[in-house]
Amino acid sequence: MAQTSPQKVVSVYLYVPNIIGYMRILMNCVAFAFCSSNKTLFAILYFFSFFCDGLDGWFARKFDQVSTFGAVLDMITDRVSTACLLALLSQLYRPGLIFLSLLGLDIASHWLQMYSSFLSGKTSHKDVKDESNWLLKAYYGQRLFMAFCCLGSEVLYIILFLLAGNQSESVLDVCLNAMKQSSLLSLSLFLTLTGWGIKQVINIIQMKTAADSCVFYDMKRSN
C-alpha cells in the first residue's frame, strides 16, 4: 500500500466542510453546557449547529472536498447531538421512555445504514439507488424533502425543550396546552410533527432494509 504524505493527511482534516464540523461540535458543547441556565442560548446554538449541517455538504461539493472522514464526522455529530437532546427531553417529560426509544431508533437506523453501505462497497450511506422502497429513495434523493423531515424533527425537539417546565410533565399535555394558547405555535407543532413523523417512518424502513442487506451479505459469504 502506497504511503500517504503527512501533508495530505492534514489537508483532509482542514477541509472547509470538516472545519465546519468541528465548529458544530464546539457549538453543541457550549449549548449543552448552558441548557439548564439559558434555554434561549441553547436553542440558538443548537439550531445554528443544525443549520451548519447543510452548509458543510454544500461546501464539500463546491470545493470538491468530499471525504469519508467528513461523512463520518457529520454522521457522528448529528447522532450525538440529537441523542443528547433526546436524553435531556427524557428527563423533562413523561414518559421518558418515548424519547429514549427515539434515541435508540435513530442510532440503530443510521449505524446499520452506514455499515451496510460499506459492506455493499458504497462510498456514502446516502446512496440508495438500488433500494426498492420509494420513501427511502425520496428522502435521500430529494434534498428539500430530506430538509423538511430533518428540520421538522430537530425543531420539534427544540420547541419541546423550550416548553418544558421545571417539573416532569406529560409531553401530550404540554403540546395540547401550547396549541390552545397560540395559533402560530399550533401551526409550528403541526408542521414539525409532520416532518418528525415521516422521519421516524423512514428510520424504521432504513433500519429494516439495512439489516436485510447485512443478512444478505452473510448469506453470500456462506454460499
| Rounded Cα distance, 135 and 173, in Å | 31
| Rounded Cα distance, 86 and 37, in Å | 18
Dihedral (CA of 54, 214, 69, 46) sign: positive
pLDDT for 12 beyond 60 = yes
Q: Does domain 6-222 have CATH number 3.30.70?
A: no
| Rounded Cα distance, 28 and 42, in Å | 8
Query: What pLDDT, in 10s, does the model give residues 178-191?
Result: 888 888 889 999 99
Higher local confidence (pLDDT), 148 or 10: 148
Which residue numbers are catalytic? 78
Q: 9 falls in which pLDDT band (50, 70, 90)?
A: low
pLDDT for 6 beyond 70 = no
Q: 1 falls in which pLDDT band (50, 70, 90)?
A: very low
Query: What pLDDT, in 10s, does the model give residues 120-155?
Result: 888 777 778 777 789 999 999 999 999 999 999 999
Mean pLDDT of all residues in 8-28: 91
pLDDT for 75 beyond 50 = yes
- Cis preceding-peptide flag for 95 (omega within 30 of 0): yes
Mean pLDDT of all residues in 76-80: 95
Mean pLDDT of all residues in 101-124: 90
Backbone dihedral region for residue 121 (phi beyond 0: left; psi -120 to 50: alpha; all else: beta): left
Mean pLDDT estimate for the chain = 90
Domain residue spans of the chain: 6-222
- Nearest CA to 205 out of 120, 119, 135, 100 is that of 135
- Nearest CA to 107 out of 140, 85, 126, 80 is that of 80
- Nearest CA to 105 out of 194, 23, 210, 34 is that of 210
- Nearest CA to 13 out of 69, 63, 52 is that of 69
Q: Which residue has the cell 401550547?
A: 178
